[in-house]
Amino acid sequence: MDEGVPALKCHPEIAQYALTNSGHIVQFQDGTSTPELLHPQINSSHFGPGYSGGLVVDQKNRLLYPGVRYLGRFDPSITKPSFTFTATNGGDDITNISGITMGAGYEEKQIVYSYNGKYYYWRIDVTLSTTSADMYGNFQFPTGTYSAYVMDDFDDFWKDFGGTLPDYTSEGDTLYMPTEVYEDTVLFMRQNRITTLNTVTDTVTTDASPAFTTPGVS
C-alpha cells in the first residue's frame, strides 16, 4: 500500500510517538502538532489483528516496537541509502536501480519516493537481480525514473523473542504489552513472561528463557 506522507525531520529527543489502531507508527514533533506517518503497518503479522504492542524509546534514543514475535527498531542515527529506479505505471517491479546494489538483505524493506511534492511508501517483496526487484502492489504514477531512499533506519525483525503471542487474551480482550526502561535494560511484558533487551550488548531474553515470570496472564 502506498501512502503519501509529509517530509520528516526526526528529532528523537523531542519527538513523541504513537501506535494507531491500524498499526501505523506516527510521530509528533513537539507533542501538539499534526501527527506524521513515520512507519506504515507492513502487514498484520507484526502487531497482529487484535494486538496492541508497546512503544518505548530506549537509552540510545532508538524507538522500539515489540510485536507478536519480533522486536522492531527505529534508529534515526542510521543513514538511509539513496538511489534511483525506473517503474512502469500499473507494474509491480522496479528496474534500472542505481546507487545501491539490490540483494536479499533489502527484501521486506520499505522505500520512500516522491511524486509531485508528496512522499510515498512502497515495500520490496523479492529482489530479482542487483538492479531490479519485485514490489508489493502496483505502481500508481506515470512511467519514469524516480529518486528514493531505503528505510534502513527501521528493522521490523531486529530481535526474535522466539515465540508468537496469541491475537487476544483467553477472555477475548485485546492483548497489550507493557514496556519499561530500567538502567541499561528494556523490559517487555509478554503475557506472564518478562523478556528483556540489554542495551549495552543488544541481546534479548526469549519467551523460552525469560528474565522473569509472573503468575499466569493469558
Residue 97 resides in a domain = yes
pLDDT of residue 130: 96
Domain boundary among 106, 130, 151: 151
- 5 — phi, psi (to 5°)? -140, 155
27 and 56 housed in the same domain:
yes
If asked whether residues 98 and 121 sit together in one domain, one would say yes
Regarding whether 164 and 136 lie in a shared domain, the answer is: no
Note the pLDDT of residue 5.
36
Predicted pLDDT at 216: 65
pLDDT single digits (tens) 58-80: 999 999 999 889 999 999 999 99
The per-residue pLDDT for range 174-207, each reduced to its tens digit, is: 788 889 999 999 999 998 999 999 999 999 999 9
Residue after which a domain boundary falls, among 134, 151, 168: 151
Does a structural domain hold residue 94? yes
pLDDT one-digit tens code per residue, 103-144: 988 998 999 999 998 899 999 999 999 999 999 999 999 999
Residues 6+ apart with CB under 8 A from 146: 84, 85, 86, 87, 113, 114, 115
Q: CB under 8 Å to 66, separation ≥6 — which residues? A: 53, 54, 72, 161, 177, 179, 188, 190
Position 23 scores a pLDDT of 81
Identify whether residues 38 and 96 lie together within a single domain.
no
pLDDT tens per residue, range 38-52: 888 765 578 876 666
Arithmetic mean of pLDDT over the chain = 86
Grid cell, residue 52, equals 496492541
Structural domain including 18 reads: 4-77+156-213
Are residues 105 and 15 part of one domain? Answer: no
In which band, very low, low, confident or very high, does the pLDDT at 14 lie, cut at 50, 70 and 90? Answer: low
Domain count along the chain? 2
CATH classification of the domain holding 45: 2.40.128
- Is position 218 within any domain? no
